Amino acid sequence: MLSVDAKGVFPIAPTPFLDDGAIDAAGVDRMIDHYVAAGADGCTILGVMGEAPKLDQDEAIGFVAPALRAPKLPFIVGVSTPGFAAMRVVARRDGEGSGRRDDRSATVAAHRRSDRDSLRASRRSDRVGHSLRHSRLSARRHHDADRHPRRIITDNASCVTLKHEDWPGLEKISALRRFENEGKLRRVPILTGNGGLFLDFEMERGVDGAMTGYAFPEMLIDVVRVSRERRREEAHDLLDAHLPLVRYEQQQGAGLATRKYVMMRRGILASDAQRKPGASLSPTAKAEVDYLLTRLARRDARAAKPVLSSVG
């Protein structure tokens, strides 16, 4: 769960679908098993990249409940909705559907995108439950590190972890850590996002790990690990090898399609299907991704892993 001790990598998982758009239950298990084997510290489900808005409420509960009944990892469960009443219902039904009344295995995460809304969301977290702990800096707006995050952390004891996904972000990470060192702000773990684009430098600036998605979560986990071990060149070399594919995944409107296609190629997903509306990769785009995987395999053998025969 997210707490003041949070650290490591919490991959943001896509929702596996079959070609007909139904949730692939077996694919969910296979994907979670992959995260466990890779060494993930937790997993985020029903996030923005998990196509949560395309699931109805019963599907969302049905997706979450089996994972929480016998958790292989701590889960962060997205319950974002336009209003707090609906958010509270989803959060409570997640817990009830899993048979759990505590939050030892799952943390509810609510995302608000504007300064006013995110502050209000954190202040009124009692309307959702004590598990609302995940405050996000939106990539769509510019935030002052001396104002917005400090107010959330200072005014709300329930805020115990900060998801940092702002542009530009490196100086803001340094500012937050400086405030803490000066005794002006209590320390909270910082988990970073944006596909890991700057994870090597973000670790050096003082983040505690990553909560983001990428078709090779092992790379994110390895960069965090070797950065902690102060093996700087190794961390940068590994991220550098993956950056062309990370960059390709960052395309607006094509990122999830790219990630699902690569995960299908790797045998993690049975299908790269998205629910409509959702873009799919053109034959040309798939050829470009295949080319990037071929180049990546020269430096990271995991990119050459064939599709598992069990997926077919």
Segment 273-306, tens digit of pLDDT: 998 887 789 999 999 999 999 999 999 999 996 6
Q: What is the model's pLDDT at position 151?
A: 80
* Digit-coded pLDDT (tens) for 63-114: 787 777 767 888 888 765 555 455 455 555 555 544 444 444 445 554 544 4
**12 band by pLDDT with thresholds 50, 70 and 90:** very high
Sorting pLDDT into bands at 50, 70 and 90, what band is 143?
very low
The per-residue pLDDT for 101 is 43
Residue 90 CA to residue 61 CA, distance in Å, equals 8
Query: What's the confidence (pLDDT) of residue 245?
Result: 97
**pLDDT class of 126 with cuts at 50, 70, 90:** very low
Q: Is the pLDDT of residue 176 over 80?
A: yes
Question: Could you give the percent of the chain with pLDDT greater than 70?
Answer: 74
Rounded to an integer, the average pLDDT of 164-182 is 89
Check residues 196 and 279 and name the one with the higher pLDDT: 196
pTM over 0.95: no
Closest-CA residue to 107 (of 160, 35, 157): 160
- For the chain, what percent of residues have pLDDT higher than 90? 47
What pLDDT was estimated at residue 147? 63
Ordered domains of the chain (ranges, CATH): 8-229 (3.20.20.70)
49/256 Cα distance (integer angstroms)? 7
In DSSP terms, which residues pair with 12 in a beta bridge? 44
Q: Which residue has the higher pLDDT, 247 or 94?
A: 247
Top pLDDT among 167 and 243 is at 243
Span 18-42, pLDDT tens digits: 999 899 988 888 999 999 999 999 9
Is the per-residue pLDDT at 132 higher than 80? no
Q: Which residue has the higher pLDDT, 200 or 276?
A: 200
- Average of pLDDT values for 164-183? 89
pLDDT of residue 95: 52
Take residue 166 and report the two structure tokens written for it.
């702002």
- Determine the average pLDDT of the residues in 6-14: 93
